[in-house]
Amino acid sequence: MFAWFAYINQDPTPWLLGLFVLVGVLGIIVLIQVAQFASLRRRFNAIWRGSGALDLEALLRDQARRVEEATNRVRQLDVRCSALEADGRRHVQHVGVVRFNAFADTGSDLSFAVALLDQEQNGVIISSLYGREESRVYAKPVVAGQSSYFLTDEEKQALAKATAETGSRLAAATRQ
């Protein structure tokens, strides 16, 4: 260690110049850092004190208000969706149609039976019998997939088609 001191004491000028340059460079770095810090502080103060468009506190309050409004809207939509789902169970969802020739003296399949059922398989079977002289329309109620009235073979087929559609939709919904 004493050898270094002896070496520096022989000619200290280059060492002192080197130290002055190093101090100067470090001083410039400190000045740059102070300027950057001052700029950052100005921006920070502008954000928190509300300098024009950069008012962070107002922005956060506005965003919180919007989130609360969106949350309330989602709650309202959830209530409406639940009501629509409950109401939709009673709407016609399953249809079975069978066309047939009711009388031998008429051509083509102009008679029909239509089963219209909701999600609980409640609804109606409408049958139309077309003849040359007259046509008749019958409506028979259906509760839980059964009718308390006698059903013709065609009406049973229409009911079977509608209930088969119910089963296929339920199976598809179960798979998803």
| Residues of the domain holding 148 | 94-175
Paired strand residues for 116: 95, 124
Residue 14 located in a structural domain: no
**Does residue 130 form part of some domain?**
yes
pLDDT at 64: 93
Residue 19 lies in a domain: no
Question: How many CA atoms does the CB half-sphere of 36 hold within 13 Å?
Answer: 6
- The pLDDT profile of the chain, 176 residues, written as one tens digit per residue, is 667 677 777 777 887 888 999 999 999 999 999 999 999 988 887 766 655 555 677 778 889 999 999 999 999 999 999 999 888 888 888 999 999 887 777 677 888 999 999 888 899 999 998 887 888 899 999 998 888 899 999 999 999 999 886 555 544 444 44
Please tell me the total count of domains within the chain: 1
Can you tell me the distance from the alpha carbon of 140 to that of 158, in angstroms, rounded to the nearest whole number? 12
| pLDDT on residue 173 | 45
* Residue 138 and residue 151 in contact, taking contact as beta carbons nearer than 8 Å: no
Residue 158 falls inside a structural domain: yes
DSSP, residue by residue, 67-85: HHHHHHHHHHHHHHHHHHH
